[in-house]
């Protein structure tokens, strides 16, 4: 029978994990600096960082650039249903004027370099970033406040994809590169078929779910009966 000997990385991670789960390290607590932890455990800085990376991947700690490592607070789960994200979070919004790239031109069904307004929306729970959305509106339709288009959509289509985050998404949401995300592309059109909004939402997979309801037509319901 083969016995697996824990590595230094695993031993350090287990010790810190125990301190967190038993409450010795509480949500929001800042861990000692990486050099201090490396000295305490008598390991190299790379070994120590590998141990911390395990805890980040498990969602136990957050690494904040320039500030250190913190025990992660439990965040509310997000539910995306019918184009609505609940619970409502505090939003920071940044507006930018740009021209449609080839990808955005395809989403919005407009010529390349068409003037657009982009709204970058980051949802926060306390100090923790919780969700990310980029919303694109043809500039002639853009309004200053949500909803950012002036007419009610006749149709909304959602495409949901599970993937790994980009480096930018990892940095903004303070998540690890190995945590899967839900990437939702929402296209809203008016009664003439014009796309009035293209939204690209990013929801970390450890705190979000997408919920869909289907209403069968009368013919479908009769066929089932």
One-character DSSP codes across the chain:
-PPPPPPHHHHHHHHHHHHHHTTSS-TTPBPPPHHHHHHHHT--HHHHHHHHHHHHHTTSEEEETTTEEEEPPPPPPEEEETTEEES--EEEEEEEEEE--HHHHHHHT--TT-EEEEEEEEEEETTEEEEEEEEEEETTT--SSSS-SSS--SEEEEEEEEEPPPHHHHHHHT--TTS-EEEEEEEEE-TTS-EEEEEEEEEETTSEEEE------HHHHHHH-
3 — pLDDT class (breaks 50, 70, 90)? low
179 — pLDDT class (breaks 50, 70, 90)? confident
- Tell me, yes or no, whether 96 lies in a domain: yes
Backbone angles phi, psi at 112, to 5 degrees: -60, 140
Backbone angles phi, psi at 131, to 5 degrees: -155, 160
The answer to whether residues 113 and 148 belong to one domain is yes
The answer to whether residues 185 and 106 belong to one domain is yes
The answer to whether residues 103 and 198 belong to one domain is yes
The answer to whether residues 67 and 110 belong to one domain is no
The answer to whether residues 204 and 136 belong to one domain is yes
- Alpha carbon distances (Å) from 137 to 19, 97, 217: 48, 10, 32
The answer to whether residues 115 and 200 belong to one domain is yes
The answer to whether residues 117 and 143 belong to one domain is yes
83 — pLDDT class (breaks 50, 70, 90)? confident
Number of domains in the chain: 2
Residue, of 13 and 222, whose pLDDT is higher = 13
The answer to whether residue 207 scores a pLDDT higher than 60 is yes
The answer to whether residues 85 and 60 belong to one domain is no
The answer to whether residues 63 and 138 belong to one domain is no
- Tell me, yes or no, whether 213 lies in a domain: no
Specify the CATH number for the domain of residue 33: 1.10.10.10
Q: Which of 117-121, 122-126, 140-144, 173-177 has the highest mean pLDDT?
A: 117-121
> Domain span at residue 198?
78-208
Over residues 98-113, the mean pLDDT reads 96
Residue, of 44 and 127, whose pLDDT is higher = 44
Asked which of 71, 86, 103 is the last residue of a domain, the reply is 71
Q: What is the mean pLDDT of the chain?
A: 86
The answer to whether residues 41 and 88 belong to one domain is no
The answer to whether residues 82 and 20 belong to one domain is no
pTM above 0.85, yes or no: no
């Amino acid at each position: 029978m083969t016995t697996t000997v824990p590595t230094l990385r695993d031993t350090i991670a287990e010790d810190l994990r125990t301190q967190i789960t038993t409450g010795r390290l509480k949500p929001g607590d800042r861990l000692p600096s990486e050099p201090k932890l490396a000295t305490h455990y008598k390991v190299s800085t790379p070994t120590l960082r590998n141990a911390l990376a395990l805890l980040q991947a498990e969602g136990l700690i957050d690494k904040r650039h320039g500030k250190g490592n913190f025990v992660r607070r439990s965040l509310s789960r997000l539910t995306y249903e019918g184009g609505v994200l609940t619970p409502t979070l505090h939003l920071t919004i940044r507006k930018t004027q740009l021209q449609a790239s080839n990808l955005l031109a395809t989403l919005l069904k407009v010529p390349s370099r068409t003037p657009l307004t982009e709204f970058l929306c980051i949802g926060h729970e306390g100090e923790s970033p919780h969700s990310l959305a980029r919303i694109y509106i043809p500039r002639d339709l853009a309004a200053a406040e949500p909803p950012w288009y002036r007419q009610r959509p006749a149709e909304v289509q959602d495409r949901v994809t599970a993937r790994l985050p980009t480096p930018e998404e990892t940095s903004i949401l303070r998540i690890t590169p190995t945590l899967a995300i839900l990437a939702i592309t929402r296209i809203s059109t008016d009664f003439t078929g014009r796309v009035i909004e293209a939204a690209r939402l990013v929801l970390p997979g450890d705190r979000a779910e997408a919920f869909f309801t289907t209403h069968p037509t009368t013919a479908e319901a009769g066929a089932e009966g």
